[in-house]
Amino acid sequence: MAIKIEKKITGYNVVKPEDKAAPAVTDQLKAAAKPAEPKQAEVIQMHESVERPEQLIGSTFKIKSPLFEHALYVTINDIVLNPGTKYEQRRPFEIFINSKNMDHFQWIVALTRIISAVFRKGGDVTFLAEEMKAVFDPRGGYFKAGGVYMPSIVAEIGAVIEQHMKNIGLIHDPEMDESTRQLIAEKRAAYEQQTAGTSSSSEPAAEASGSGSESSASGFPPGATLCAKCNTQALVLMDGCQTCLNCGYSKCG
């Protein structure tokens, strides 16, 4: 292929093969003289290729529901990623559910296998708790200890997974500010005083028995209804407005 020279030639020299190799050697010497950068630690993230260790750590939760004759025992095992480094993280790896009740064995096994597969897939797995807590039983839900309403047994399993994720630091509860806590305490004290006053005026024996000021087993006043925001039986009527003594929610704003 011919190359046409359009400018005037002012000088020339012959390039030998050894002259071409000289710049490459110079670059290598410069690279060798350059200080080596410190090797970065390889941060291991959760993904489906992570092999299961011989030993896992976990927690077991007991679920006692009126929908089942026997209790359910939910075990969630965690894998520790990057142990001993500042990137150490505990992630759920598998889940098992055991019970003497064999009536629902098929869907329980299917549920645990699917959840375990999602855990091992990696990424953000916190959505599982919200999805499961939104499952409703057509026969109706129930109240567990503490006055918290559970729409189904699947929802309570979701609540257990959420609690476990909070325990290992995967989910963080939004902290209630001091003013809201003080407001709830004032509302509760005012309600208990109002209830005690009404009971003593209508029934003289109420003061002796203490039935007007005693709280129910859930820790909230008897007769409290279900709060739509926190699903806790802590909603009471105060000054013509429904107010939750657990989260501070009020229908009046």
Burial 127-145 (b: 16+ CB within 10 A, else e): ebbeebbeeeeeeebeebe
Q: Which residues contact 102 (CB under 8 A, 6 or more apart)?
A: none
The answer to whether position 35 is within a domain reads no
The answer to whether position 2 is within a domain reads no
Cβ atoms of residues 192 and 213 within 8 Å: yes
Q: Would you state the pLDDT for residue 126?
A: 92
Q: Do 161 and 182 reside in the same domain of the chain?
A: no
The answer to whether position 31 is within a domain reads no
Q: Would you state the pLDDT for residue 208?
A: 39
Tell which wins on pLDDT, 2 or 23. Answer: 2
Cβ atoms of residues 242 and 250 within 8 Å: yes
The answer to whether position 190 is within a domain reads yes
- Rounded to the nearest angstrom, the gap between the alpha carbon of residue 195 and the centroid of all alpha carbons in its chain is 38
Q: Is the pLDDT of residue 22 over 90?
A: no
Q: Do 115 and 138 reside in the same domain of the chain?
A: yes
The answer to whether position 185 is within a domain reads yes
Closest to 165 (Cα-Cα) out of 249, 93, 96, 105: 93
What's phi and psi for 165, nearest 5 deg? Answer: -65, -30
Looking up tokens 């926190």 gives 230
The pTM assigned to this predicted structure is: 0.62
pLDDT tens-digit series, residues 218-248: 567 777 887 877 778 778 877 778 888 777 7
Cβ atoms of residues 249 and 243 within 8 Å: yes
Q: Which two tokens stand for residue 166?
A: 């909070």
Q: Which two tokens stand for residue 160?
A: 């257990």
Cβ atoms of residues 164 and 156 within 8 Å: no
Q: Do 163 and 61 reside in the same domain of the chain?
A: yes
71: containing domain? 57-167
Q: How many Cα atoms within 13 Å fall on the side-chain side of residue 148?
A: 14
- Rounded to the nearest angstrom, the gap between the alpha carbon of residue 200 and the centroid of all alpha carbons in its chain is 45
Proportion of the chain above pLDDT 90, given as a percent: 30
Number of domains in the chain: 2
Q: Do 234 and 141 reside in the same domain of the chain?
A: no
The answer to whether position 19 is within a domain reads no
Q: Do 96 and 123 reside in the same domain of the chain?
A: yes
Cβ atoms of residues 75 and 95 within 8 Å: yes
Cβ atoms of residues 161 and 76 within 8 Å: yes
The answer to whether position 64 is within a domain reads yes
Q: Do 145 and 215 reside in the same domain of the chain?
A: no
Q: Do 144 and 185 reside in the same domain of the chain?
A: no
The answer to whether position 231 is within a domain reads yes
pLDDT tens-digit series, residues 25-78: 566 666 666 555 555 557 777 888 888 999 999 999 999 988 888 899 999 999
Q: Would you state the pLDDT for residue 217?
A: 52
Q: Which two tokens stand for residue 92?
A: 């759920």
- The last residue of a domain, from among 145, 167, 189: 167
Q: Do 76 and 148 reside in the same domain of the chain?
A: yes
Cβ atoms of residues 68 and 152 within 8 Å: no
Burial label for 177, CB within 10 Å (0-12, 13-18, 19+), is: exposed
Cβ atoms of residues 74 and 160 within 8 Å: yes
- Pick left, alpha or beta for residue 248 (phi over 0 → left; psi -120 to 50 → alpha; otherwise beta): left
Q: Which two tokens stand for residue 103?
A: 């009536």
Alpha-carbon dihedral 98, 130, 142, 183, rounded to 10 degrees: 130
